[in-house]
Amino acid sequence: MTQADDKTVMDILRGLKRGASRRSLLQGLGATGVAIGFGGALAGCGPAQPPPGGGEAPTLNFYNWDTYIGETTLADFKAATGVDVNMTLFANNDELFAKFKAGNQGYDVIVPSNEYVTRMAEAGLLLKLDQAKIPNKANLLPEFQDATFDPGRAYSMPYTWLVLGIGYRKSKMVGGAVPDSWRYLFDSRQYAGKIALLSESADLIRLGAKYKGKSVNGLTPDDIKVVEEMLLKQKSAIKAFHDDNGQDLLVSREVDIVLEYNGDMAQVISEEGGEDIGFVVPKEGSLLNSDCLCIPAGAPRPDNAHKFINYILDGEVGAKISQTIQYPTPNRAARDRMPESYKNNPVIFPPPEVLAKCEYGTFEGAEKSQMYEEAMTRIRAA
């Protein structure tokens, strides 16, 4: 036998002596890891047991966007009602919908956007709200007492509202002009290579249609084709399609002009170096959005859920939330308590004559969404 074989035989004989040392090592690793994991998970205790006399456990599973709640709101709610809120986060509406499509995994309150309220309600995924349990509804501004996307507010209560517009870096604008038309994003090469658009197909196509003078709803396949061709032509001028972090691209100087929500832009403007950043809602009008509080069907604790929603609609609580997140609030009582810098901020509350031209996008059925999606795929594949 060769030297190599000798070595192998020696190894094997040594292995026979040592036994299953590999397995014990792995076991040791596993045990240590589990011990650390256990310590970490102890921080979040197990599910609370329901009280002996029936009724709901004093806990609530709240599925929300990130940093979309006041600093002390959850703690205050617990102090006021004794209900412990467990808030988990999601990043966009599609994930929310995809996850709930196969059933509710134990969530009590969720925060979909307006279009998804319609979608989920139509799909039977939402619980009808018991209006009697939400007296704070009276705090809402008149235009939010009812909604086109949720007649009679049967399934949702508004949490915030937003409008899409153009964020820009003032020092990079030609002649210091304010880019108050969608043209600069969709149809002009003035800022070629420094433009970022939202990658959301429905929003993008509908805003393109708005630029062309149409309404955002009721688009025909021909309309979609027109917008698609415009965007195909513009494509070489676009630097990136962002997934709602356009404000970061603007701040880091990757782009100079971006399609973004007013709430995100307001946050960036109020931070370091924000004096050079501006936001404007184009004169052709724009899309309105509203994030709403809903209770998913099959929620284990609907009573607590109603209490929570009612609590959020309180004026004082709403003001504290707006203080933190700086998004436009639909709550009159909350708005009244906010400082002037918030109430008169043109980024947070665009002037009424511009808002008059803005519309809510309605959910027009799955087929329409698929048409938008395919147009987007074609634009990106070209």
Q: Which of residues 207-246 bind another protein (CB under 8 A)?
A: 235, 238-241, 243-245
Indicate whether 21 belongs to the interface with another protein (CB under 8 A). yes
Interacting span for another protein (CB under 8 A) from 83-91, 134-142, 144-152, 287-295: 83-91
Residue 140 dihedral angles phi and psi, to the nearest 5°: -75, 150
CB of 54 to another protein, least distance (A): 17
Q: Considering only residues 55, 80, 92, 177, which one is a binding residue for another protein as defined by CB under 8 A?
A: 92
363 touches 115 (CB < 8 A): yes
Q: State the residue for tokens 């070595």.
A: 7
Q: Considering only residues 126, 185, 251, 294, which one is a binding residue for another protein as defined by CB under 8 A?
A: 251
Interacting span for another protein (CB under 8 A) from 92-100, 138-146, 215-223, 311-319: 92-100
CB of 165 to another protein, least distance (A): 18
Indicate whether 248 belongs to the interface with another protein (CB under 8 A). yes
State the virtual CA torsion across 322, 328, 332, 333 in degrees, nearest 10: 0
Indicate whether 4 belongs to the interface with another protein (CB under 8 A). yes
Q: Considering only residues 99, 172, 212, 214, which one is a binding residue for another protein as defined by CB under 8 A?
A: 99
Binding mask 22-61 for another protein (x = CB under 8 A): x--xxxxxx-xxx-xxxxxx-xx-xx-------------x
Q: State the residue for tokens 């009721």.
A: 218
Interacting span for another protein (CB under 8 A) from 103-111, 160-168, 179-187, 284-292: 103-111
Indicate whether 97 belongs to the interface with another protein (CB under 8 A). yes
Residue 288 dihedral angles phi and psi, to the nearest 5°: -100, 150
Q: Considering only residues 79, 102, 174, 356, which one is a binding residue for another protein as defined by CB under 8 A?
A: 102
Cα→Cα distances 280→178, 191, 247, Å: 8, 16, 14
What sign for the dihedral angle of Cα 320, 325, 331, 337?
positive
Q: Considering only residues 67, 72, 131, 215, which one is a binding residue for another protein as defined by CB under 8 A?
A: 67
Indicate whether 346 belongs to the interface with another protein (CB under 8 A). no
Indicate whether 91 belongs to the interface with another protein (CB under 8 A). yes
Binding mask 353-382 for another protein (x = CB under 8 A): -------------x--xx--xx-xxxxxxx
73 touches 312 (CB < 8 A): yes
Q: Considering only residues 56, 65, 308, 318, which one is a binding residue for another protein as defined by CB under 8 A?
A: 65
Q: State the residue for tokens 């960036």.
A: 268
Cα→Cα distances 105→108, 297, 363, Å: 9, 10, 25
How far is 202 from 366, CA to CA, in rounded Å?
12
The token duo for 23 is: 């397995």
How far is 164 from 200, CA to CA, in rounded Å?
12
266 touches 345 (CB < 8 A): yes
In terms of CB distance, is 119 or 306 closer to another protein?
119
How far is 242 from 348, CA to CA, in rounded Å?
21
State the virtual CA torsion across 38, 41, 44, 47 in degrees, nearest 10: -70
Indicate whether 272 belongs to the interface with another protein (CB under 8 A). yes
Indicate whether 106 belongs to the interface with another protein (CB under 8 A). yes
- Interface with another protein: number of residues (CB under 8 A): 98
56 touches 301 (CB < 8 A): yes
Indicate whether 124 belongs to the interface with another protein (CB under 8 A). yes
157 touches 135 (CB < 8 A): no
Interacting span for another protein (CB under 8 A) from 146-154, 193-201, 307-315, 329-337: 193-201
Interacting span for another protein (CB under 8 A) from 165-173, 260-268, 309-317, 345-353: 260-268
In terms of CB distance, is 262 or 267 closer to another protein?
267
339 touches 92 (CB < 8 A): no
How far is 205 from 167, CA to CA, in rounded Å?
18
Q: Considering only residues 52, 66, 275, 351, which one is a binding residue for another protein as defined by CB under 8 A?
A: 66
CB of 199 to another protein, least distance (A): 8
How far is 151 from 197, CA to CA, in rounded Å?
32
